[in-house]
Structure 1
Amino acid sequence: MSIILKTPQQVEKMRVAGRLAADVLEMLTPLVQPGVTTEELNQKAHDYMTQVQGTVPATLGYHGFTKSICTSINQVVCHGIPSDKKLKKGDIINIDVTVIKDGFHGDTSMMFEVGKVAPFASRLCRIAHECLWKGIQQVKPSATLYDVALAIEQHAHANDCSVVKEYCGHGIGADFHEEPQVLHYSSQEQKQVVLKPGMTFTIEPMINLGRPEVKLLGDGWTVVTKDRTLSAQWEHTLLVTETGYEVFTLRTGEKPLL
């Protein structure tokens, strides 16, 4: 499968979808409090997407996934399934939202700190956020995905964190997952993917406090750190422009972090 360069008309649809995905996270932000269940957050997101935005929750029914968002708490790396589990003070949680609007996808996630969290947990969330922006800032025509991955990996390692290797970012557009795969650790094969205007993809580094190894739980979706240490992830969908990049999933008032 080859990388699909988007037309200006397709870019505009992705711009709209990205903004709507960001809006879901903004809507959920004040609701992420101790005592709320992740299923309640899922239902709020589902209702907002389907009844207010007129978007389709991309994860609902995707390869059998049964919820409209992913909620990954503490040692859960990604693909956490909303449930009747209540959030408690000190938790960190990633909420991952993907919407479909007019046939195109917007995909984004962010970390939330529930009440007052331990300093090491808050630091991990910050380092993961910085890793995302370190990667984004490498994006420009003629750069490679290796440049993106190396920037992320170096920042994580410099801060005594590790990078998950089994899961990565991806091309996105009319399909949820397109080429290329966007690794967050340095791999020589990434040097072969040269960035060109019109490419659209996600960057979504999963950064662990402990070791990088992960395991898949018996539900077939939930991925946790093998050593049960904390994990944090942030994600944006972006476009390679003629001069650099455009982030489609910026939240209101959000500026480049670095």
Structure 2
Amino acid sequence: MKKYRGIFVKNDAEIEIMRKAGGIVAEILDELEKAVRPGVKTMAFENLALQMCEDFKVRPAFKGYLGYPFALCCSVNEEVVHGFPSERELKEGDIVSFDMGVVYNGFYGDSARTIPVGEVSPDVARLLDVTEKSLYAGIEMARAEANLYDISLAVQKYVESQGYFVVRRFVGHGIGRSLHEKPEVPNFVPSGAGVVALKPGMTLAIEPMVTVGGPEVEILADKWTAVTKDRSLAAHFEHTVVITNDGPKILSRRPEA
């Protein structure tokens, strides 16, 4: 593994390990999504995620990370990220975000998605659609020799053009042997942003967090769960990608995808 301006650049063998890690995360998220329905307690998703980590013989990336107590981040409605699984029951019309990571052969995989619970209103469905499309708008710009902040600009422009807001307190990140590596990948262009050239072999976790009512968030008493300050709905989608000479490649998909 080499570095370019403080950013780790992975070789083909390391990228392949990360592809396997990401594939496992995708399979776990697929099973979690299948289990979403009204009446399910969110702790059931934690138990399923733990069981699947055991089955795949991988370590859950988040459990114990900086003291986080669960394998899964499970955020409902106005919860943006880092929500705790609990005895809370999902209700028809809710949305639930799953953020999951694993460690496989020393490398991290990380991905997130937001799922509707039963039937949701057209406005809620649109929030999810816009957030997911903003992720792919960002991924499209993750190209060799492009500027890192081209990703940020693509996400921000798309989200704001649709009348929504990007959360600024939390950002995407480099990923590899550590869950959070350089560089940070904001979903907006920070003031004074310069040029950070993207190079083949860089691996990034791109993760727009989008809200209906405004970008401000606050942290609940558990010191982890981030909610929208105005308690409006929020959605979250994330993929781990690698920069290649042939464009961005998503690592957090099922092997057959």
TM range (shorter): over 0.9
What residue number does 1:148 align with? 151
Checking the alignment, whether the CA contact within 8 Å between 2:24 and 2:254 is kept in structure 1 is: no
- The C-alpha deviation readout for 1:148-192, integer Å capped at 9, x for no partner, is 111111111111000100100000001010000000001255442
Amino acid at match of 1:117: V
Structure 2 CA distance, aligned partners of 1:242 and 1:16? 21
Question: Partner amino acid for 1:22?
Answer: A
Instruction: Find the partner of 2:234 among 231, 236, 239.
Output: 231
Q: Distance in 2 between matches of 1:207 and 1:227?
A: 13
Alpha-carbon spacing, 1:249–1:190, altered in 2? closer, same or farther (3 Å) = farther
> Aligned partner of 2:244: which letter?
T
In 2, are the aligned partners of 1:73 and 1:94 still within 8 Å (CA)?
Answer: yes
Aligned to 1:32: 36
Partner residue, 1:241: 244
Offset of residue 119 of structure 1: 1.4
Structure 2 counterparts to residues 123-138 of structure 1, below 5 A: 123-138=126-141
Partner of 1:2: 6
SS state at 1:192 partner: coil
Correspondent of 1:20 among 8, 18, 24: 24
Aligned to 2:80: 77
Is 2:211 aligned against 1:215?
no
What's the Cα RMSD here?
A: 1.3
Give, in angstroms, the shift of residue 253 of structure 1: 7.1
CA contact (8 A) 1:144 1:190 kept: no
Distance apart, 1:193 and its partner CA: 1.2
- How far 1:250 sits from its partner (Å)? 2.0
Give 1:120 shift: 1.0
- In structure 2, the residue corresponding to 1:238 is in which secondary structure? strand
Q: Distance in 1 between matches of 2:123 and 2:193?
A: 32
Q: Distance in 2 between matches of 1:243 and 1:194?
A: 16
1:104 maps onto 2:102 in alignment? no
Map residues 182-201 of structure 1 onto 2, 5 A cutoff. Answer: 182-201=185-204
Equivalent in the alignment of 1:139: 142
Shift of 1:70: 0.4
C-alpha displacement at 1:226, in angstroms?
A: 0.4
| Residue aligned with 2:150, SS | helix
The question of 1:45 aligning with 2:49 is answered: yes
Q: TM-score scaled to structure 2, two decimals?
A: 0.95
Matched letter for residue 181 of structure 2: E
Secondary structure of residue in 2 paired with 1:4 = strand
Give the match for residue 64 of structure 2: 61
Alignment gaps of 5+ in structure 1: none
Question: Aligned ranges for residues 142-181 of structure 1 at < 5 Å?
Answer: 142-181=145-184
Distance in structure 1 (CA, Å) of the matches to 2:192 and 2:28:
35
Alignment of 1:81-92 (within 5 A): 81-92=84-95
Cα distance per residue 1:75-102 (max 9 Å; x no partner): 0010001001010100001101101110
Identity %: 39
| Equivalent pair of 1:144/1:192 in contact (CA under 8 Å) | yes
